[in-house]
Structure 1
Amino acid sequence: MTDAKQFYDYHSWANKRILNHIESLPEETAYQEVQSVFPSISDVLLHMCRADYIWLKTLSGATYQEVIDSVGKFEAAHRDMAVINGHFSELEAQYHDFFSRQTDFEQQVLFQHPTHGTLVTTYTGVILHVINHGTYHRGNVTAMLRQLGHPGVPTDYVYYLYEKKESKG
């Protein structure tokens, strides 16, 4: 397994932990307004879906305009945790499909952005960005949960490694 794939698997594991935890709380928790980076937990999670989608499309060769034209599909998920959960599941399957087709994650790739210009990086570099972005926003969710009087759930990489080790027996 490549490092990029393992880190993405961690990202999926951590997202599932957050989603399962939120599902165990009163339903209104995901939609309650708080003073934070985003107005609600569901808004943070939807943002994470959009970002993961944008990078997957970019990694798959879509142009900036193609990505922008297609990202609107997430608007129907606003304030609907069932739809947001579905998007997370679909994205995980699509990322796994992407991983199954890649042979060289250290290959240089070039991305064009109308404001930021040209970026030369690797597939691994972008995957690490996706994971880092998700970690940042899972922290937002944890802070928001605490603000609403609920505990968070541990999603550190080391917990993923321990759980993975335990599942191997």
Structure 2
Amino acid sequence: MDARAHFLTLARYHAWATRRLLEAVSALDEEAYRRDVGLFFKSVHGTLNHLLVGEGLLWFPRFARGESPALALDMEAEPDRARLAQAVLDGALAWDGAIAHWAAERFDGRLRYTRSNGEAVDLPFAPTLAHVFNHATHHRGQITAALTLLGQPGPELDLVRYLQLQAVQPG
């Protein structure tokens, strides 16, 4: 499998898993959704907000537009629950279109950006892109654990499950 095909699979899985997670989160009442349950970003809301900031507002602009936004990872980008969920989903959906248009050579290249503190960074492109999807998986797992703690069922989000479903219903 070439790099673009691999990352398109990850992007599509990422959108599928994000959608399923948000559907499960929608069952929480407002108090449970915002309750500090001991996650790094405290609540389900805080963790979804971090996903928006980290992925949608920092990493995507770095990869897609060569921009280096100066944002704090714990800033509250969207206090409204419904708008936050939509923004997180929109961010997850954006990767597919971007990756589909990148030249094959780009995956063997470098990603250069400036961190929020002004530090210049130069990293291998493909492994850093893998980090973005791995980071999202990590935080989806935290939210799934929080759902269970809050008495809600956690959605099945395994990549293998996504691949099985794609084998039955491609697209």
**Is the 1:30–1:40 Cα contact (8 Å) retained in structure 2?**
yes
Aligned counterpart in structure 2 of residue 30 of structure 1, from 29, 33, 36: 33
Deviations for 1:137-159, whole angstroms, at most 9, x for unmatched residues? 11111221222222211111111
Deviations for 1:23-56, whole angstroms, at most 9, x for unmatched residues? 1343433222222322210110110111112111
Q: What are the ranges of 5 or more consecutive residues in structure 2 without an aligned counterpart?
A: none
1:148 maps to which residue?
150
**Are residues 39 and 17 of structure 1, via their aligned partners in 2, closer, same or farther at CA, if it must alter by over 3 Å?**
same
1:100 maps to which residue?
100
Report deviation, 1:76: 4.8
TM-score (norm 1): 0.82
1:68 maps to which residue?
70
Count, aligned residues: 163
Q: Does 1:57 align with 2:58?
A: no
Counterpart amino acid of 1:85? A
Which secondary structure state, in structure 2, belongs to the residue aligned with residue 111 of structure 1? strand
**Are residues 106 and 76 of structure 1, via their aligned partners in 2, closer, same or farther at CA, if it must alter by over 3 Å?**
closer
**Are residues 29 and 166 of structure 1, via their aligned partners in 2, closer, same or farther at CA, if it must alter by over 3 Å?**
farther
Which secondary structure state, in structure 1, belongs to the residue aligned with residue 40 of structure 2? coil
Q: What are the ranges of 5 or more consecutive residues in structure 1 without an aligned counterpart?
A: none
Counterpart amino acid of 1:19? L
Q: Which runs of 4+ in 1 moved over 6 A?
A: none
Across the aligned residues of Structure 1 and Structure 2, the Cα RMSD in angstroms comes to 2.6
Calculate percent identity across the aligned residue pairs. Answer: 25
Residues 1-169 of structure 1 mapped to structure 2, 5 A cutoff: 2-53=5-56, 54-64=58-68, 67-68=69-70, 75-78=76-79, 80-104=80-104, 105-113=106-114, 117-122=120-125, 124-168=126-170
